[in-house]
């Protein structure tokens, strides 16, 4: 987005998740809103860490994800699978696909 364009509030709100009472936005979503790559956003935040509050960001690595998986039961398996897919790098020539829940159009529940 160019600097003179305002992003509609609804677009921003759709990218904010409520997790354990905390509002969270993924780095890739924030980078897209700013029109930069995720790597560039993360690098800028690290370079300017003194300008952000201590709780501005955290990184969930594979080790922490495995620890969280062990702590929670099968009810959350689908959530952890989605997180794992988000963390996976796409294969060469393959674009990152959208992750999320979709309704089954053939289920007859309309």
Q: Provide the token pair at 8.
A: 């509609």
Q: Is residue 36 part of a domain?
A: yes
State residue 96's pLDDT score.
61
Beta bridge partners of 19: 22
Q: Is residue 100 part of a domain?
A: no
**Residue 50, φ and ψ in degrees, nearest 5:** -70, -15
**Residue 17, φ and ψ in degrees, nearest 5:** -105, 145
Q: Is residue 86 part of a domain?
A: yes
Considering only 18-22, 35-39, 92-96, which range has the smallest mean pLDDT? 92-96
Domain with 11, as residue range(s), is 1-52
Number of domains in the chain: 2
State residue 109's pLDDT score.
46
41 and 7, same domain (yes or no): yes
Mean pLDDT, the chain, integer: 77
pLDDT in tens, 21-45: 778 888 889 999 999 999 999 899 8
Residue 67 confidence (pLDDT) above 90 = no
pTM over 0.85: no
Question: How many CB atoms are closer than 10 A to CB 40?
Answer: 12
User: Helix, strand or coil for residue 46?
Assistant: helix
48 and 64, same domain (yes or no): no
Find the mean pLDDT for residues 53-77: 76
User: Helix, strand or coil for residue 21?
Assistant: coil
39 and 78, same domain (yes or no): no
């Amino acid at each position: 987005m160019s600097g003179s364009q305002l992003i509609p509030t609804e677009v921003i709100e759709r990218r904010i998740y409520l997790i354990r009472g905390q509002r969270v936005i993924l780095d890739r979503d924030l980078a897209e809103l700013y029109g930069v790559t995720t790597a560039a956003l993360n690098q800028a935040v690290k370079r300017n860490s003194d300008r952000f509050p201590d709780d501005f960001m955290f990184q969930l690595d594979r080790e922490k994800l495995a620890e969280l998986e062990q702590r929670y039961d099968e009810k959350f398996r689908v959530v952890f699978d989605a997180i794992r897919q988000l963390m996976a790098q796409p294969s060469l020539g393959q674009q990152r696909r959208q992750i999320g829940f979709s309704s089954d159009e053939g289920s007859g529940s309309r």
